[in-house]
């Protein structure tokens, strides 16, 4: 269940990015500091980010403050 929420969050960010008026690639910031995702959520986040095409959006920052992610989750990231 947590995994689907994380994936949905990333999908919503990507779909709402829009195209800048200067024609550059849209960019988003992923902020998950307000929710605990843990190691399983981190893996789900990695899977969701892999599905984002290189030409779709630039992820310029990722905030996971306050999350307790074990080393295996960070390796995925």
- Which residue has tokens 């995994």? 3
On whether residue 15 sits in a domain, the answer given is no
Judge whether 49 lies within some domain. Answer: yes
Q: Kindly tell me if the per-residue pLDDT of 55 is higher than 80.
A: no
Helix ranges (H only) for the chain are 2-15, 38-51, 71-76
Q: How many domains does the chain have?
A: 1
The rounded percent of the chain whose pLDDT value lies above 70 is: 87
Q: Is the pTM of this model over 0.75?
A: no
What does the mean pLDDT of the chain come to?
80
Let me know if residue 18 belongs to a domain: no
- The mean pLDDT of 39-49, rounded to a whole number, is 84
Nearest to 29 by CA among 52, 63, 5: 63
Answer yes or no: is 20 within a domain. Answer: no
Given a cut of 70, whether residue 41 has pLDDT beyond it is yes
Structural domain range at position 43: 2-10+27-76
Contact 45, 10 (CB under 8 A): yes
Average of per-residue pLDDT across 42-62: 83
């Amino acid at each position: 269940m947590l995994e689907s929420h994380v994936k949905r969050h990333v999908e919503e960010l990507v779909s709402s990015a829009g195209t800048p008026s200067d024609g550059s690639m849209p960019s988003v910031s992923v902020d998950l500091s307000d929710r605990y995702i843990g190691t399983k959520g981190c893996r789900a986040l990695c899977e969701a980010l892999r599905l984002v095409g290189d030409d779709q959006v630039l992820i310029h920052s990722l905030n996971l403050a306050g999350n307790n992610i074990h080393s295996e989750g960070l390796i995925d990231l």
